[in-house]
Amino acid sequence: MENYESQKRYERAKKRVDNERGFYTHLTIYIVINITLLFINTNFESQGFRNWFQWHLYITPILWGIGLLFHGLRVFKGNIIYGKKWEERKIKELMEKDDLL
């Protein structure tokens, strides 16, 4: 019975780590692609920063950013900034580490 519970906890933790890794991968791709698109669409080499105030340059980052926000909320369950559940989980994690030592 203890082995089964341990296996279930491991599976939940693994799924959580996979979800967080997926979010951070999504965030990295979002940043890299949107910076690249911004430089390509502004024609930076010939016009410099004068072209950066056109609203159409920001449609993709805003819409994609909304999707990224929902992805983050789903992964972190609304606790992006260290909330109460995070505190409880971290305390429990540290207590378990102390038991192992």
pLDDT in tens, 46-58: 666 666 667 777 8
Kindly tell me the burial class for residue 61, based on how many C-beta atoms sit within 10 Å of its own C-beta (0-12, 13-18, 19 or more). Answer: middle
* pLDDT higher than 60, residue 73: yes
Task: Identify the pLDDT of residue 66.
Answer: 95
The residue with greater pLDDT, 11 or 39, is: 11
Distance spanning both ends of the chain, measured CA to CA: 24
